[in-house]
Chains A and B, each alone.
Chain A
C-alpha cells in the first residue's frame, strides 16, 4: 500500500516519467552538448568549456534575432488579445443553446495539418492570391501588393494559429463568472460598460493572462510559420537554431542557441507571473 502522503506522486508518476524522458532528458543532452568543442573538420568533441557560450553571447546578431522574435511574438499576442477577447465574450454570452458546437467549430481547423493550413496562407496572401485578386478586381490597386514573405505574413500566420488558444482561455474564465455579480453591479448603479470594467474584465484577467502567456510562448518557439511565411530578412530564432544544427551540423552552437531561447522565455514567464501577480488573482477566487 502506498502511504497517503506519497499517493499524489504515485498517481502523477506516468506524467512525471514521460515528462522526464521526453522533456528533461533531451534538455539535459542539449545542455551537455553546449559545452562541447566543435573541431575545424566539423567533428564534435566532448569537452567542458564555455567557448560556444562566449561566441554566441558576444555576437549582437543573435541578440538582435532574439529581440525580433520577441517583438513579433508580442505583436501577435496583443492582436490575439484584441481579436480573441470579444470573440470569447460573444461565445460566453450568446444565447445560442448549442455552445458545444461553437467551441467545436473553434477547434475544427486543428483537424487539418498545421503545415497545410499554413500553406493555405500562401494562396490567400500571394501575388496572385485571394486578397490581391479581389483588390485588383475591384480596382483599388493596380499592381499586386507584396503581402507574403515578410513580418506581416508571419504575424498573420501566428495569429491564425494561436487565436483558438487565446479564445478558449478567455472563454473559460468568462464562462465561470457568476452572472449575478454583473446584475449586482448594475443594481448598485453601474452602466453596462462600467459593469464590464469593474466586474467582468477583472474577473476574466486570469484567463486573459494565461492565454497571453500561452500565445507568447507558442509564438516565440514557433518554427513552421516563420519558415513558410517569412521572408529572407525574417529573423526568427528557431530558424537560427535550425540553420546551426541541420544546415551546419554545428550541434554545440545550436545547443547554446536553444538554451538561450529557453532561458529567456523562462525569465519572461517568471517576470510576467510576478508582474501580473496571477497567483494573487487566483487566490481571491479561492473559496
Chain B
C-alpha cells in the first residue's frame, strides 16, 4: 500500500498566488521521495498539506489508503522535521524527544526506553538533560530527527533539514539521514532545492516548478532524460543547442546546427519529424575534447575557469554559439583561443 497519495491537490493563497497547482503524487511504502525545485515553487506547501498544517482547496490527501483531508493534524501520526529544527527551547532534550510519546499515552518506562533508543539511532546518547540551546546545529538536527522518528510515524516529512548546516556537516548528515531512513524503512518525503542532495538520496525525484510537477522519476532518469528545458537546466550543467531535424533514422536523429555542423542524437523527449526546429540538450561533462581535425564539432576555447581538479571551458562554435564543457583535469588545462574538436556521443544528446 502506498504511504502517501496526493490526488489533484491545489492550494491557493489568493487568486494570484497558486502555491500548488493540481498535483498528483505517490509515495510508495518505504520510499525516499524528494521534492526538488527553486524557491517558492510550492515544496513546503505540499509537505504541509500532507502533514495537515495546510488545507488543500481541492483534491485528496491519502495516507496508507485512508482519506486524510478531514483528519486533524494531531491524529495523522506523521513525523516532521523543520528547516530550523523547531526544538522546544524550554524543554530538555529528553522532554523534546518524549513529547510525541507523551501524547500517545505511552507508559513512563516505555517512553524512557524508546527515547534512549531514538537517541542511540541518531548517535547522541547522554544528552537527555541538556537544553536545545546547549547543542550545536548538527546535534539539534539529530534531536529533531529523533523526536520525529520516536513516534514511529507512518511518513517522515523533512523540510530542507540540512540547509542550515555548513557544507561538511551537511554531507555527513546526508549520508547518516539516508542510512537511518533505509534501516527504519519509513516512507520519507524530503524537500530540498539542492540537486546534489536530491540525486544522492532519493528513490524518486519530483522536480517542481511554479506549483506543478515538471518531471518525476528515478535520479538517473530525471538527470539523463529530462523532459523539459527547466528540468535539464535545474539539474546539473546543461547546454541547449538550437537545431533543425534533418533526418530521422533507426540509429538516431541527425540534426543540423547551422554553421557549427551536424550532430547525431539518439534520444528524444517526443517524436519529431524532419524540418522541425528543436533544442538539443548536451550535458557539460559529457563533451569529450580532442585535438582539432578528429571529427566532431570544431570549436575554439573562449573562456577558461581553472577549478583545480576540474576545468570549466566555454567553447565557441562557428556561428557564435557557446557550449559549456566541464572536464576533470589529468593534464594541463587548455589555453584560451586554442582550436579543439568536440566529440559528443549520440547517447548523451537528447532532443527536447
A associates with B: yes
A residues near B, CB below 8 A?
A: 178, 180-181, 183-191, 194, 198-199, 202-203, 281, 284-287
Query: In the complex, A287→B131 CA distance in Å?
Result: 10
Query: In the complex, A183→B157 CA distance in Å?
Result: 13
Across the interface, which residues of B come within 8 angstroms of A194, CB to CB? 74, 103
Q: Is B296 an interface residue (CB 8 A)?
A: no
Query: In the complex, A199→B95 CA distance in Å?
Result: 12
Residue contact B86 to A183, C-beta cutoff 8 Å: yes
B residues near A, CB below 8 A?
A: 48, 51-53, 72-76, 78-80, 82-84, 86, 88-90, 99-100, 103-104, 131, 133, 147-148, 151, 157
Given A281-B90, A284-B89, residue A188 in contact with residue B103 (CB < 8 A): yes
Central interface residue in A178, A189, A191, by most chain B CB within 10 Å: A189
Question: Among B52, B82, B133, which residue has its beta carbon within 8 angstroms of that of A180?
Answer: B82
Question: Among A186, A203, A284, which residue has its beta carbon within 8 angstroms of that of B74?
Answer: A186
Query: In the complex, A178→B90 CA distance in Å?
Result: 13
- A206 to chain B minimum Cβ distance, whole angstroms, is 10
Task: Give the nearest-CB partner of B53 in chain A.
Answer: A183
Central interface residue in B52, B79, B80, by most chain A CB within 10 Å: B80
Across the interface, which residues of B come within 8 angstroms of A189, CB to CB? 74-75, 100, 103-104, 151
Given A202-B90, A284-B89, residue A187 in contact with residue B80 (CB < 8 A): yes
Across the interface, which residues of B come within 8 angstroms of A199, CB to CB? 88
- B180 to chain A minimum Cβ distance, whole angstroms, is 18
Across the interface, which residues of B come within 8 angstroms of A187, CB to CB? 51-53, 73-74, 76, 78-80, 148, 157
Residue contact B133 to A284, C-beta cutoff 8 Å: yes
Residue contact B151 to A181, C-beta cutoff 8 Å: no
- Taking A188-B99, A191-B72, A281-B90 as known contacts, 7 extra A-B pairs with beta carbons closer than 8 A to each other, sorted by chain A number, are A180-B84, A181-B88, A183-B86, A187-B53, A187-B148, A188-B103, A287-B89
Query: In the complex, A180→B86 CA distance in Å?
Result: 6
Given A202-B90, A281-B90, A287-B133, residue A190 in contact with residue B82 (CB < 8 A): no
Given A188-B103, A188-B151, A285-B133, residue A183 in contact with residue B80 (CB < 8 A): yes
Across the interface, which residues of A come within 8 angstroms of B88, CB to CB? 181, 184-185, 198-199
Given A186-B53, A186-B74, A189-B103, residue A284 in contact with residue B80 (CB < 8 A): no
Residue contact B99 to A178, C-beta cutoff 8 Å: no
Cross-chain pairs A/B with CB under 8 angstroms, 30 sampled: A180-B82, A180-B83, A181-B86, A183-B53, A183-B82, A184-B82, A184-B88, A185-B99, A186-B52, A186-B53, A186-B73, A187-B51, A187-B52, A187-B79, A187-B80, A188-B103, A188-B147, A189-B104, A189-B151, A190-B74, A191-B74, A198-B88, A198-B99, A199-B88, A202-B90, A203-B90, A281-B90, A284-B89, A285-B89, A285-B133
Across the interface, which residues of B come within 8 angstroms of A203, CB to CB? 89-90
- A197 to chain B minimum Cβ distance, whole angstroms, is 12
Query: In the complex, A194→B72 CA distance in Å?
Result: 14
Task: Give the nearest-CB partner of B51 in chain A.
Answer: A187
Given A189-B74, A287-B133, residue A184 in contact with residue B80 (CB < 8 A): yes
Across the interface, which residues of B come within 8 angstroms of A287, CB to CB? 89, 133
Across the interface, which residues of B come within 8 angstroms of A286, CB to CB? 133
Residue contact A188 to B100, C-beta cutoff 8 Å: yes
Query: In the complex, A287→B100 CA distance in Å?
Result: 24
Residue contact B86 to A178, C-beta cutoff 8 Å: yes
- B82 to chain A minimum Cβ distance, whole angstroms, is 5
Residue contact B103 to A190, C-beta cutoff 8 Å: yes
Across the interface, which residues of B come within 8 angstroms of A190, CB to CB? 74, 103
